[in-house]
Amino acid sequence: MKKIKVGIIGFGLSGHTFHAPIIQTIKGLEISKIVSSNAQKVHEICPHVEVVAEVEQLFSDPDIDLVVITTPNTTHYPYAKQALLSGKHVVVEKPFVNHSQEAEDLIRIAAEQNKIVSVFQNRRWDNDFLTVKECVESGVMGEIYSYEAHYDRFRPEVTHRWREQNIEGSGMLYDLGSHLIDQALHLFGLPETIYGDVFAQRENSVVDDYFHIVLGYERLRVILHSSSIVKNGGPKFQIHGSKGSFIKYGLDSQEGLLRQGKAPGDALWGKDQAEYYGELTVGVGDLVLKGKVETATGSYEAYYEGIVEAIVDNKPVPVSATDAMHTIKVIELVKKSSQEKRVVFFQ
């Protein structure tokens, strides 16, 4: 099978640590060009890849089939639009775009060009979320009434990263919020109501670094929370249903392994430590049973395997642009709710 030639725009944390190492393990993909100002950094992990200075050198190359956009959020929409109009398939790092109207525009253009556009919501393949999904969908907890997911950190000092500068699409809500919202929508679909509390909690912060979101679904409430000042965090997930509960501590290991230079196929890839296995509690009458649930194996590579299948076999993309657009709509409504200090309806 002819390999799909890939061009990557940007080689910061996302391109260097996530996309390039994972793509290099996928049989149907081959990185052909990378747009970066730091050729030495690129060649440390992609020694034979051509490094170019301008995005146009990617768009004008007839051999490149797929463009992967890993640059700051302000560039996602213009680069994705230009890539689609150049006849390329497109993968965009999350968040998809800054405005849902931009997402609608890209979906329309992709359909007109007969090309795929997908968003790298890799945390659908976190080992803890895969475990949560299995527990929810199995029905072992009965009807779910409460789902709570945290993504907390201890970063009390403001840095000079672009994500912490006062520019469009920066801040915690677009960054970590897009992960938590995507996971929740993937499990439960679109909410009826949205409440958001979003603000800058740290001294000298010019972007939001705290959010608390409540999504309403009839009798179910989904709580999504993140703070930058959490020295000793609680559970990552708490799910409570009519028949039982599931509590899970710890973080998926894949990002940490990627930062160490590991990649899919390595011995510990996607595995969890036994001490962080979640606890499932179920009861029938007076009988209460508690037990550890072995964490599923995480699989970020499944995303790009799905991209190959979408391009080659015309299968659905692993994360649809419509799903990603809904995540952006929720972010917009969370901001509206926070600003107006009221519950809003999903529209």
Per-residue confidence (pLDDT) for residue 161, from 0 to 100 = 80
Summarised one tens digit per residue, pLDDT across range 279-299 is 999 988 889 999 999 999 999
* CA pair distance 220, 133, nearest whole angstrom: 16
Question: What DSSP state is assigned to residue 73?
Answer: G
The predicted-structure confidence for 35-73, as pLDDT tens digits, reads as follows: 999 999 999 999 999 999 999 999 999 999 999 999 999
pLDDT at res. 178 = 97
Label residue 90 by pLDDT band (50, 70, 90).
very high
C-beta neighbour count of 282 within 10 angstroms: 17
% of the chain beyond a pLDDT of 70: 100
Pairing of the two strands 144-150 and 29-35: unpaired
Average pLDDT of 274-282?
97
Q: How far apart are CA 344 and CA 327, in angstroms?
A: 15
* Alpha-helical runs (H) found in the chain: 13, 20-23, 39-45, 56-59, 76-85, 100-113, 127-138, 172-188, 254-259, 301-313, 321-340
pLDDT of residue 167: 87
pLDDT band at 2 (very low <50, low <70, confident <90, very high): confident
**Per-residue pLDDT tens over the stretch 12-28:** 999 999 999 999 999 99
Average pLDDT in the 177-199 region? 98
Q: b/e map of 64-90 (b: 16 or more CB within 10 Å)?
A: bbbbbbbbbbebbbebbbbbbebebbb
- 162, pLDDT greater than 90: no
Dihedral sign, Cα of residue 37, residue 40, residue 42, residue 43: positive
* Mean pLDDT calculated for residue range 203-207: 91
pLDDT surpasses 80 at 1 = no
Residue 335: both structure tokens together: 């901001």
Average pLDDT, the chain: 96
User: What's the predicted TM-score (pTM) here?
Assistant: 0.96
Contact 173, 207 (CB under 8 A): no
Determine the pLDDT at residue 306. Answer: 98
For residue 235, what pLDDT band results from cuts at 50, 70 and 90? very high
